[in-house]
Amino acid sequence: MKVDSLLSNNKIVEHNKAKLTTERVSLYYGSFQALRDITLNIPERAITAIIGPSGCGKSSFLRIFDRMNDLITGARVEGSVQLDGIDIYDRCIDVVELRKRVGMVFQKPNPFPMSVFENVAFGPRRHGRNNRGELEEIVEKSLRQAALWDEVKDKLDQSAFDLSGGQQQRLCIARVLAVEPQIILMDEPCSALDPIATLKIEDLMRNLAVNYTIVIVTHNMQQAARVSDMAAFLMMEEDRAGILVEYGLTAELFTNPKDKRTEDYITGRFG
Amino acid sequence: MRVNSGPSRRLSQKAAFALLLFSTIAVVAVTLYIILRIAIDGAGTISWGFLTQPPTQAGKAGGIFPAIVGTFYLMLGTLILALPIGVLAGIYLSEYAPKNWLTRVINLAIINLAGVPSIVYGLFGLGVFVLMLNFGMSLLAASLTLACQALAMTITTSREALLAVPREYREGSLAIGATKWQTIRHIILPQARSGIITGAVLAMSRAAGESAPILVVGAAFLVPGLPQSPFDRFMALPYHLYTVAAQVPGMPADTKWGVALVLLAVVLSFNVLATIVRLRARRRRV
C-alpha cells in the first residue's frame, strides 16, 4: 500500500509502505464504545503522531496495536488491524510474539525495581538468551541506541531508580530496543519529563525512525509538529466514542488542515 | 469566609482530640499492663532447667521443654502445609481468576474463613484428619488442622501483596513480550515476597497461640518424651498453659506465669520477625 507522496517535516515517506493498517476499527469496553470506525495506514520507518483532546481514545487506539487492551476485562475490538498484512486479532496470533515485534513505552517511566543492566536484559532473558557475554553486548547496543550508554556505563549495577526521570524513560526505550522490535509505540512518553529531557527523547525518536516504525500519542501539538511525519487527529463524538477526523502528512495537517475541527484544535480554539 | 473559627468549633476540635488521645492511651496501657504483669510474675520461674527439662509431678515441677518443642513442630508443620497452597491460591486469585461474581464469592468466603471460631476447625480436623483419614490424634492431624485455619490468612495476604504490585511493572513486562507466567515469576512475585512472608509468619504465630483446635486433635497434657514421628501425640504451650492454669489443683502461681511468659515470647518474637521482614523490604525498594 502506498502512502501519499509528499514531503513531510524532515522525512520523505513516499516510498514507505504501510506497516500497520486499520480498517473500520471499533473498540468497546463492555457496552461503552471508545473508538468508532477508524481506518488508516501507518507507514514504516516513520513517526506517526496521534493527537487529540483528552479522553478521545488516543491511548486506547495505540494499545490496539500491541493488544494491551486484552488485559482489560470486557474490551473488544471490531474491524481489522494488520501488521505487514497479517491480522493481529486472528485466532492463530501469539500475543507474546506480537509484543516482541511491537514494543511499548509508557507515559510514566516504569523501570523495573532492579539494576540498569537487568532492566535492559530482562526482555532478552525472557526470550531465552542467558549467555552473559551475549547479554552484555545486547545491553550496550540497546543503551547506545537509546543515547543513554555514556551516562550509565559506570552504573550498570545500580538500581534503575537512581536515574533521573528522563534517563529512566530512555532506559525504558532501551529495554524495548533490546527485544529488537519492528514497531515502537509511545504513549505520551514525555508528559512526565522536563523540557530538556523531552528534547533528548525527541532527538532519539528521530534517530530511531531510520530503522523503526514509531507511533506516538501526544497531547503536545508542538511535539507532534516537531517530530512526526504523519499525524492523525482523533476527537470524541457526542456519545464519547473517538473518531478519526483527519489523517495525513504532518506538514499538511498543521499548515493546511482540511477539516474545520482540526483547524480549531490546532489553533487552540478547543481541547 | 471567616478567618478565625468560633470558640465552639475550637472547643469541639479539642474535645475530639482529647477523646482520640484517650482511646489510644487506653489501648496501649492495657496491652502494656498485660505484658508487664506476665513478664514480672513469670520471670522468676524462667531458668535453664525450666526451658530444657520435661515436666514432673503433673507439671508442678520440672520444665516445659516438650511443650516448647511441640509448639515449634506445630508451627513448622503449619508453615510447610499452608504456605505453598496459600501462595499458589493467592496467585490464582489475583492473577488468573476471571473477575466475575464467582471469584468475588470465593474471595469473600476465604475472608470469612478467617472468622470461623477455632474450635470449629478443631472439630473439622477431628472428623476429617483424625477419624476419616485415620491419622489418629497426632502432630500431623494437628498441623493439618492449624494449616486449614492459617490458609485463610496466607491466601488473603498473598493475594493482597500480589495485587499491590503496581500495574506499570506488569504492563512493562508484558509489553516486551514476556509471558504472563514470566511476568509473575520475575516481576510480581519478587515484589510481593515480603508481604507474603509477613503474612505467613503472622499466620504461624497465630497457630502457635491456638489451644482450642489442637485440644481435640492430638495435644496432650503429659507425654513421655518428644514426638518421634508425625503420628505421635505431642505437648504444646497454649494447651499446657490451659491445663496448668485451670486443671491441676495446687499448681504454683509462678509456674502459670512462667508458661504464659514463654508462650508470649514465642508469639511476640515471630511478630517482631514479621515487622523486620517488612521494614527491610521497604528499605530495599527505595
- A162's CB contacts (< 8 A; 6+ apart) are A155
Res A79: pLDDT = 92
Is the Cβ pair B175, A126 closer than 8 Å?
no
**CB B227, CB B73: distance < 8 Å:** yes
Q: Which of A71, A78, A8 is nearest to A36 (CA)?
A: A78
Is the Cβ pair A100, B177 closer than 8 Å?
yes
B278 in a structural domain: yes
User: Which sign, positive or negative, has the C-alpha torsion B126, B132, B138, B143?
Assistant: negative
Q: Which of A69, A128, A75 is nearest to A102 (CA)?
A: A69
**CB A163, CB A114: distance < 8 Å:** no
Res A6: pLDDT = 34
| Residue A187: pLDDT over 90 | yes
Average pLDDT, chain A: 88
What residues of chain B lie within 8 A of the CB of A96, using their CB? 177-179
At residue A166, what is the residue type? G
B248 in a structural domain: yes
Query: Each residue of B230-266: pLDDT tens digit?
Result: 888 888 888 888 888 887 777 788 888 888 999 999 8
C-alpha distance from A116 to closest chain B C-alpha (Å) = 15
Is the Cβ pair A126, B168 closer than 8 Å?
no
Cα–Cα dist A34/A72, whole Å: 13
pLDDT class for A54, splitting at 50, 70, 90? confident
Beta bridge pairs of residue B233: none
From the list B99, B168, B191, which residue is nearest A73 (CB)?
A: B99
Compare all CA atoms of chain B with the CA of A69 and give the residue at the minimum distance. Answer: B171
B58 in a structural domain: yes
From the list A68, A161, A179, which residue is nearest B171 (CB)?
A: A68
Q: What value does the mean pLDDT take over residues B92-106?
A: 90
The CA R_g of chain B, rounded to the nearest whole Å, is: 24
Residue positions counted in chain B:
286
Q: Is A17 exposed, middle or buried (0-12, 13-18, 19+ CB in 10 A)?
A: middle
C-alpha distance from A120 to closest chain B C-alpha (Å) = 11
Q: Strand, helix or coil at A50?
A: strand
Domains of chain A by start residue, with CATH: 18-112+181-266 (3.40.50.300)
What residues of chain A lie within 8 A of the CB of B172, using their CB? 106, 110-112, 172, 175
Mutate to test the interface with A, among B176, B182, B185 (most CBs of A within 10 A): B176
Query: Each residue of A102-136: pLDDT tens digit?
Result: 999 999 999 999 999 999 999 999 998 889 999 99
Q: Which of B284, B237, B242, B281 is nearest to B263 (CA)?
A: B237
What residues of chain A lie within 8 A of the CB of B98, using their CB? 73
From the list A73, A97, A103, which residue is nearest B175 (CB)?
A: A103
B43 in a structural domain: no
Is the Cβ pair B171, A103 closer than 8 Å?
no
What residues of chain B lie within 8 A of the CB of A104, using their CB? 171, 175-176
B195 in a structural domain: yes
Q: What value does the mean pLDDT take over residues B18-29?
A: 94
**Phi, psi angles (nearest 5°) of residue B152:** -55, -45
Cα–Cα dist B91/B108, whole Å: 16
pLDDT class for A151, splitting at 50, 70, 90? very high
Res A268: pLDDT = 76
pLDDT class for B44, splitting at 50, 70, 90? confident
Q: What is the CATH number of the domain that holds B248?
A: 1.10.3720.10
Give the three cell numbers for residue A97. 510474539
At residue B257, what is the residue type? W
| Residue B34: pLDDT over 70 | yes
Beta bridge pairs of residue A48: A215, A230
Lowest mean pLDDT among A109-113, A231-235, B47-51: B47-51
pLDDT class for B284, splitting at 50, 70, 90? low
B22 in a structural domain: no
Name the residue with cell 509528499: A6
Cα–Cα dist A100/B202, whole Å: 41
Cα–Cα dist B93/B151, whole Å: 14
**CB B25, CB B37: distance < 8 Å:** no
Is the Cβ pair B171, A110 closer than 8 Å?
yes
Residues of A in CB contact (< 8 Å) with B are: 66, 68, 71, 73, 96-100, 103-104, 106, 108, 110-113, 122-123, 126-127, 161, 172, 175-176, 178-179
For chains A and B, count residue pairs whose Cβ atoms are closer than 8 Å. Answer: 67
Is the Cβ pair A103, B172 closer than 8 Å?
no
What residues of chain A lie within 8 A of the CB of B178, using their CB? 96, 122-123, 126
Q: Total domain count for chain B?
A: 1
Is the Cβ pair B172, A106 closer than 8 Å?
yes
Is the Cβ pair B172, A112 closer than 8 Å?
yes
CA angle B46, B50, B52 (to 5 degrees): 125
H-assigned helices in chain A? 58-62, 95-101, 116-126, 132-145, 149-152, 165-177, 195-208, 221-227, 250-255, 260-266
From the list B169, B177, B286, which residue is nearest A112 (CB)?
A: B169
Compare all CA atoms of chain B with the CA of A104 and give the residue at the minimum distance. Answer: B175
Residues spanned by the domain of B101: 48-285
Beta bridge pairs of residue A244: A234
- B27's CB contacts (< 8 A; 6+ apart) are none
Give how far Cα B235 sits from Cα of A39, A48, B104, B145, B150, Å. 75, 73, 40, 16, 20
Q: State the CB neighbour count (10 A cutoff) for residue A230.
A: 29
C-alpha distance from B181 to closest chain A C-alpha (Å) = 11
Res B212: pLDDT = 85
Residue positions counted in chain A:
271
Is the Cβ pair B176, A100 closer than 8 Å?
yes
